[in-house]
Chains A and B, each alone.
Chain A
């Protein structure tokens, strides 16, 4: 538990200053073929301060949470910005936009906490179920992972916030051999909340595991995809990674300044008119998102960033410095992973807004294509060109689902792919364990509805 109220330290501030106390706590248990391979907990806490002056930043952190350590890091951050100011005088006179907000959010579970033994028993139950029901599998891997991020913030603009944002997830990975070939499939469960909020009763996951094993069995008999441009349905998992990786990153203002193609597209039609793409701050239609942010780590009240509205590129995601550069307002996207990390422009919960179609209608509308359900990983770059691995999908022939497919990849230029979207499902599903890497790793929300579009699919 860290201090919630940091006002006592405001007397240490002399320039624009952010002060953050933070503790990240992890619990991770992994079981492979019934054996406990990992059984660990960890915590990392400390204080950091960031000071802005004349266009430069100074940052300092310490693992010590004492009053003297707080005073030390503020002084050290000021010394660091002075080091920069003495050498880099290019940006004298720059002033950051002023934002102020107050919010307190504690999502600690209201359920009594489980012991480590109960979690190991939970995993053992699931492993026993898999082993007994599917004895022919080559391997079973189950991982339970909890992350609590607890932060307190005070800025010289007067913003204050306290948040305890937990994530609890379980990975289940199964593999089997078919004709000498190893085939693997994984699913992830859980999301916002501590482990107790998701994983009290192992029997609730038996149906999910049956579904995973069924998909794996079908995939083992799967067919290679026909390479080329195809009509496809990208289910929520893939639509989410498309929105995040291929569009979202190109519209982070720091990457725009770094040369992303999106800079030239502002105000232009970059997608089908059906497409509205939003980086949600904390909730969608009253439901809390996987990574709710109410005040960001620069003390800016977070708001939804409508990146694309009805197909037109409308906004980038900003922190204070990029907002100053673009002469606009910060959007509350500045986030840091650890106490020793500085805030960067990060997405929060990025998704295409749901449409009006059903998945059945979308499948029926494809004569020769694929229903692509899961992503294994994804990469995109400043041109919005992307590539995602697809470990699970099915053929669509004559408007009906057909054979499962083997591992494949999809690729394209995202801003071109968005123009081919002609159907969007009305539902909304968030992926359970989204993480994003950009100097620091950080939890993000990715998901959305299913979309029907055209992409280039790999083949043998």
Chain B
């Protein structure tokens, strides 16, 4: 990167830029103000249609300002970091706040001890990234010759962000990580599988990419999915949801315990803290500080030091994921973090034994479904999935719908596998549900 054109801010160190913004916002009349200054770089290798295609490097930086004046709030972000643009933005965001409507719920985080956090490397091993990609292409080509890698992306992103507010909060976060994703389809003559994708993140490039996340398993399943057929007839039975698509269902619970639905008054779980919202087999954590994950974060979006939390413990809802605004607005307790970095506790049964226990059902590897209705009703197509009968996986399926109610489904968890998958940002096991309509 060439040297930045900071104008008269050129003498400032990175960490002093948000301090300058806070000072200007207060001078301009802000009652409570916050600023996040962030900068980062990405290096990315792309494979398209099975061939190396692109090496991409990007750099960016940005400032996000928020100001509360007379309990009215405005927010603004720019990526031009020079005095003229910052000063103009300070004036603009004050005007935006003055234009808005007052709300007693607006606030900023209270004073906390200043801290600096870091996780992961700040510079990539570029040669290793290329070699790992080449190794992955060789592996997939030789092991699964009918599978086309439609696109594969390997990137390394690193950056630093500085959070400041007028209550004296000062948090610095530096981090970097690798991430890999691949999208693929298998083809034999005119027979084509559904596409599938897989990915994971990591703090290093020490292991082959096909060993990460679910990559190898999903490549193998893709090759098996070239020829499929529907389930024999409509039935009510079991589904085993793989770690790859459990988020499609967990998302329903997270949506109902986060800001929008709780503020709008449409959450199903508004009165459910301390109550069972699933059966006792499920324990779900949000762990942004976990050493088991390559991802995570140290500071919440509203300026608090993040903490790990158990969201659902043996079926009991323990906490909402409310921001400071959401908490003030609803009168409910603020969440310990901003969500994400999810871990579902594994069970005690081997996946193979769970499959053996299924009389009739589906191993659901990808769910192509509409958003569930507000009460949790869902239906969608079982993609890249398998029909199970009498305890054995029978064949890959297509044109098969699964439907039910998510809230009910999680009261009908039959088992959770001891096996799990670490995607870097999440760790999920296989979950066995009963009472699902398959057609």
Q: A-side interface residues toward B, CB under 8 Å? A: 32-33, 35-46, 48, 55-64, 66, 68-69, 72, 76, 80-81, 83-84, 87-88, 90-91, 115-117, 120, 124, 138-139, 141, 175, 181-184, 227, 254-255, 257-261, 264, 321, 340, 342, 376-377, 379, 381-383, 385, 387-390, 406-409, 411, 413, 439, 456, 458, 460
Contacts and interface: CB of A to CB of B under 8 A. Distances in A.
B49 interface: yes
Nearest to A175: B266
Contact of A259 (B61, B100, B150, B153): B150
Given A39-B100, A182-B374, A259 B58 contact: no
Contacts of A120: 99-101
A254 to B, nearest CB: 6
Contacts of A182: 266, 268, 374-375
B101 A36 contact: yes
Given A32-B264, A42-B78, A59 B195 contact: no
B99 A90 contact: no
Contacts of B55: 56-59, 80-81, 83-84
A138 B195 CA distance: 40
Most buried by B among A39, A45, A183, A264: A39
Contacts of A439: 151, 153
Interface stretch (B29-37, B164-172, B179-187, B412-420): B179-187
B421 interface: no
Nearest to A83: B55
Most buried by A among B49, B61, B92: B49
B52 A56 contact: yes
A36 B73 contact: yes
B260 interface: yes
23 contacts: A35-B329, A41-B76, A42-B77, A57-B54, A59-B55, A63-B59, A63-B62, A69-B2, A80-B56, A116-B96, A116-B100, A182-B268, A254-B150, A258-B148, A258-B150, A259-B187, A260-B192, A342-B54, A385-B194, A407-B370, A409-B401, A411-B401, A456-B399
A183 B374 contact: yes
Contact of B150 (A60, A255, A407): A255
Interface string B183-203: 111110010111100000000
B60 A376 contact: no
B295 to A, nearest CB: 20
A385 B381 contact: yes
Contact of B401 (A56, A381, A458): A458
Contact of B53 (A57, A115, A390, A460): A57
Contacts of B79: 43-46, 63
A68 B2 CA distance: 7
A146 B329 CA distance: 27
A57 B323 CA distance: 43
A264 to B, nearest CB: 5
A376 B371 contact: yes
B4 interface: yes
A139 B261 CA distance: 9
A35 B330 CA distance: 13
Interface residues of B, number: 80
B368 interface: yes
B51 interface: yes
Contacts of A383: 192-194, 398
A38 B97 CA distance: 11
Contacts of B61: 63
A411 B381 contact: yes
Contacts of A255: 150
A258 B78 contact: no
Contacts of A40: 74-77, 96
A307 to B, nearest CB: 18
B49 A257 contact: yes
Contacts of A340: 58, 60
Top 6 closest pairs, chain A to chain B, by CB? A389-B370, A258-B150, A259-B185, A117-B99, A257-B49, A182-B374
Contacts of A41: 75-77, 92, 96
Contacts of B51: 55, 88, 90-91
A458 B48 CA distance: 36
A66 B78 CA distance: 16
Contacts of B184: 258-259
Interface in B362-412: 368-371, 373-375, 377, 379-381, 383, 398-399, 401, 403
Interface in B52-109: 52-62, 73-81, 92, 95-101, 103, 105
B48 A138 contact: no
Contacts of A413: 399
Given A40-B75, A138-B265, A115 B99 contact: yes
A261 B78 contact: no
A63 B2 contact: no
A385 B399 contact: yes
A45 B79 CA distance: 7
B263 interface: yes
B183 A261 contact: no
B2 A72 contact: yes
Contact of B99 (A91, A116, A175, A321): A116
B130 interface: yes
A260 B57 CA distance: 29
B185 A382 contact: yes
A88 B100 CA distance: 55
A99 B75 CA distance: 43
A407 B48 contact: no
B360 interface: no
B10 to A, nearest CB: 13
Contacts of A58: 54-56
Nearest to A71: B2
Contact of A261 (B96, B192, B398): B192
A224 to B, nearest CB: 9
Nearest to A91: B51
B171 to A, nearest CB: 21
B290 interface: no
B439 interface: yes
Contact of B370 (A72, A76, A181, A376): A376
A182 B184 CA distance: 39
B5 interface: yes
Contact of B439 (A66, A83, A84, A227): A227
Contacts of A227: 439
B228 to A, nearest CB: 9
B128 to A, nearest CB: 13
B96 A35 contact: no
Interface in B192-219: 192-195
Contacts of A181: 374-375
A406 B373 contact: yes
